[in-house]
Amino acid sequence: MSDFNRGYTSIPAGRADMAVDAGLRSFMLGVYNKVSLGLLLSAALAWATTSFAPVRDLLYVTTPEGRLVGFTMLGTIARFAPILALLVGMFGMRNVTPRSSGIFYWTLVSLIGVGLGVWVLAYTGASVASTFLITAAAFGALSLAGYTTKKDLTGFGSFLIVGLIGIMIASVVNIFLHSSAIGFIVNALGVFIFAGLIAYDTQRLKMTYYQLGGDTAALGVATNYGALNLYLNFINLFQFLMGFLGNRR
């Protein structure tokens, strides 16, 4: 997904043991708080857009029992709006400030939250809730591993980015082929790739903190973009896990 801080120089793994730094802890706490609030907002919007019939009917075509059948025109726009917003942020934003990056983060989180209603309609509530909790537990463990490891994950991260491009291409191809085998492989690789990216992006955030050398404005931007990367990793891991653990209505 979006990778806004790729330009920073990698710091050798020997300098990665920074767990006692109070400034780093404060920076990472700010990132995690923003990710948590973003997930709460997304969950609230997903619930709101599926629980209130007038809003739901603007976005989705459902059976009388509430099972997803298709999308309205507005619903289709809502599905692709996050991709458009992400492209705008990647290629259209110049001279980024903490304020503009914060607006970008909350805008993208809100758009994704609206689109997440599809999982609530397509799968049982119990499987959505249980998969979300599993994703949260995995996210916490993987991020902790990325934060504490002394091994430089730069090479591993580059490998994961290549794999991500591969599953994106495979997913587009499978839209036309409708192959269950390809779908299974994409889900399995997606879980592996985004699990690895959680650890990699966490370590990269540590390196970014020291690379910026106390620049308050730059750290504000890094907090927003770092939270966005981890948020996107969480959402994608959740969606791929739903392919294995979700029970359809």
Question: Tens digit of pLDDT for each residue in 108-117?
Answer: 999 999 999 9
Q: Measured between alpha carbons, how far is 34 from 232 in angstroms, rounded to an integer?
A: 12
Sign of CA dihedral 21, 102, 225, 141: positive
pTM above 0.95, yes or no: no
Residue-wise pLDDT tens digits, 43-68: 999 999 999 999 999 999 998 877 88
SS3 content of the chain, % helix, strand, coil (to 5): 80, 5, 20
| Other Cβ atoms closer than 10 A to 169 | 11
pLDDT tens-digit series, residues 192-234: 999 999 999 999 999 999 999 889 999 999 999 999 999 999 9
* Dihedral angle, C-alpha 188, 191, 41, 99, nearest 10 °: -130
Kindly state the tokens that stand for 151.
């091994």
CB contact at 8 A, 194 and 233: yes
The domain locations on the chain are: 18-245
Going from the C-alpha of 15 to that of each of 207, 210, 239, 240, the distances in angstroms are: 9, 10, 34, 34
Whether 18 shows a pLDDT value over 90: the answer reads: no
Mean pLDDT over each residue of the chain, to the nearest integer: 90
Radius of gyration of the chain (CA): 19
Cα–Cα distances in angstroms (integers) from residue 46 to residues 109, 119, 206, in the given order = 11, 9, 32
* Percentage of residues in the chain having pLDDT higher than 90: 76
Does the structure show a pLDDT above 90 at 82?
Answer: yes
Report the C-alpha gap between 231 and 239 in whole angstroms: 12
Asked if 67 contacts 249 with a C-beta cutoff of 8 angstroms, the reply is: yes
Distance CA 13, CA 82 (A): 35
